[in-house]
Amino acid sequence: MRRSFVSNIIAGDRSKREISALWLAARESGKITPETMESLVDSLAALLNESQALNFKRWPILNSKVHQNPVARGSYQAEVDAVKNYIVERIDWMDEKVIVEAPDPPVVDPPDPPDPPVVVPTEGTIIINHLTLTVKDYDNETYLYLYDLSGRSITTKKLQPEETYSVRLFPGMYIVQLHDLTTNTVESRKVLLY
């Protein structure tokens, strides 16, 4: 059976450690807690309050089971509470599933340096500011490939030396792959935007 793109990403111990570290960082920063997520849902519910009243006046389905909504909760607030309960339970589930003890990589003696000097290109910078990902300061022509966790290509961009490129994204985890065309090296990073 072929493994999915996501399964391949999370199969290795290094990936497990990196995903765990990203989740822990989001949790420890206080940005992803049951309280902050409940507050976010409450703020969105308040924003939609007038619209939902008109919607359910026009289509009175709060007490009816409809497609993709197998439970009739009877009120807008009950639906909002169900979303908040789901998110709180999901955070607990993520804590159990994502925070793992992956073994540390094996300690390996560094190889002897090669006879001719090896030129290592200066690494560029990946900056995450709110929901904007910026790639800059790469010394050589570089291809940027950006994927979501399902393996779907979000963008591909050929960057010229020292070019800065920014892209606005939705909250989530992404794979950034940079292919240096001069040295033919590939660098991959996982990034979390929230």
Please state the rounded mean pLDDT for residues 75-81.
91
Quickly list DSSP for 67-101: TTB----SSHHHHHHHHHHHHHHHHHHHHHHH---
At residue 188 the predicted structure's pLDDT band, cuts being 50, 70 and 90, is: confident
* H or E element, residue 38: helix 34-47
113 occurs within a structural domain: no
At residue 115 the predicted structure's pLDDT band, cuts being 50, 70 and 90, is: very low
20 and 72 share a domain? yes
At residue 107 the predicted structure's pLDDT band, cuts being 50, 70 and 90, is: low
Tokens, residue 29: 């920063």
176 occurs within a structural domain: yes
CA distance 78 to 71: 11
- Domain total in the chain: 2
Domain assignment of residue 153, given as a range: 125-193
Confidence (pLDDT) at 191? 85
Please state the rounded mean pLDDT for residues 9-32.
81
CB neighbourhood size of 124 (10 A): 22
Describe the strand order of the beta sheet including 153-159 as a list of residue ranges: 153-159, 142-148, 172-180, 185-193
Higher pLDDT, 7 or 185: 185
Kindly state the DSSP code that residue 60 receives in the 8-state scheme: -
17 and 84 share a domain? yes
> The domain that contains 179 carries what CATH number?
2.60.40.3080
CA distance 78 to 82: 6
14 and 93 share a domain? yes
169 occurs within a structural domain: yes
Confidence (pLDDT) at 185? 84
Nearest Cα residue to 133 out of 162, 176, 163: 176
Per-residue pLDDT for 113 more than 60? no
15 occurs within a structural domain: yes
Higher pLDDT, 83 or 121: 83
Write b or e for each residue in 6-45: b if 16 or more Cβ atoms lie within 10 A of its Cβ, otherwise e: eeebbeeeeebbbbbebbeebbeeeebeeeebbeebeeeb
117 occurs within a structural domain: no
Nearest Cα residue to 158 out of 173, 172, 138: 138
12 and 94 share a domain? yes
Higher pLDDT, 184 or 119: 184
